[in-house]
Chain A
Amino acid sequence: DVVMTQSPLSLPVTLGQPASISCRSSQSLVYSDGNTYLNWFQQRPGQSPRRLIYKVSNRDSGVPDRFSGSGSGTDFTLKISRVEAEDVGFYYCMQGTHWPFTFGPGTKVDI
């Protein structure tokens, strides 16, 4: 199975400051169709996860533009340009290239 690792696992942040989460996969996530199925999810306390970014860098509708995704191959990053209070929660990367699809362990973001 593809192992997804995230760092850091805990990220204390300051409101208004940038934050960055790294995600690495044990294999390349480039699929045979040329797409890279690396997604990012946010899970706020007591809520279901919500997708923020799909295929590395595509931001979902309604997601603030302070969130951005980048990377390629096996190395990916989620960035928050200016952290706001509502960004507190867990962030998970997930690969949808190799079955079984797998999630990273999650990064806890708190103020």
Chain B
Amino acid sequence: EVQLVESGGGLVQPGGSLRLSCAASGFMFSSYWMSWVRQVPGKGLEWVANIKVDGSEKYYVDSMKGRFTISRDNAKNSLYLQMNSLRAEDTAVYYCVREGRLIDYWGQGTLVTVSS
């Protein structure tokens, strides 16, 4: 059974940093593109970033470029999102998802709240 379990969310002050993690199991992690998608509570869905199977290619939505860094450790079956210079508008549930073009599995999400 495919499982994606996010962790690392919480309350952070504007300008602060947070690192999200996603532990993957139940599939060959190193064979799949992985992504982060976020959802402002009560609102719609927004892409954050994608990473290729071996980490050699990464794509970011413009508003997060330069502030967020997606990475992966295939030996640990883990996906990460380093978020710096956080803003109030980054407050959202962050989902780890398998694949990019065809998202087929979602984690349960981790809530990031940016507030003073």
Mostly, the A contact residues are: loop
Contacts of B46 in A (CB 8 A): 103
Whether the Cβ atoms of A100 and B61 lie closer than 8 Å is yes
Mostly, the B contact residues are: loop
Tell me the complex Cα distance, A55–B59, Å. Answer: 21
In the complex, 21 of the A-B residue pairs with CB atoms within 8 angstroms, ordered by the A residue number, are A37-B101, A39-B102, A41-B45, A41-B103, A49-B106, A50-B106, A54-B102, A54-B104, A92-B45, A96-B101, A99-B50, A100-B59, A101-B47, A101-B50, A101-B100, A102-B47, A103-B45, A103-B46, A103-B47, A105-B44, A106-B45
Tell me the complex Cα distance, A94–B104, Å. Answer: 12
Contacts of A104 in B (CB 8 A): 44
Whether the Cβ atoms of B62 and A100 lie closer than 8 Å is yes
Contacts of B45 in A (CB 8 A): 41, 49, 92, 94, 103, 106
Type the 1/0 row for B11-45, where 1 means its CB is closer than 8 Å to any CB of A: 00000000000000000000000000000000011
B-binding residues in A (CB < 8 A): 31, 37, 39, 41, 48-51, 54-55, 60, 92, 94, 96-97, 99-106
A-B contact count (CB 8 A): 51
A-binding residues in B (CB < 8 A): 44-47, 50, 59, 61-62, 95, 100-104, 106-109
Q: B102 contacts which of A37, A48, A49 (Cβ < 8 Å)?
A: A37
Q: B106 contacts which of A31, A39, A48, A96 (Cβ < 8 Å)?
A: A48
Q: Which 3 A-B pairs have the closest CB atoms?
A: A96-B101, A48-B106, A103-B45
Tell me the complex Cα distance, A55–B107, Å. Answer: 21
Tell me the complex Cα distance, A50–B97, Å. Answer: 11
Starting from the known contacts A96-B100, A101-B50, A106-B44, 6 additional A-B residue pairs (CB-CB under 8 Å) come to A41-B103, A92-B45, A94-B45, A99-B59, A100-B47, A101-B47
Tell me the complex Cα distance, A103–B97, Å. Answer: 14
A92 and chain B: residue at smallest CB distance: B45
Q: How far is the CB of A82 from chain B (nearest CB, A)?
A: 26
Contacts of B107 in A (CB 8 A): 48
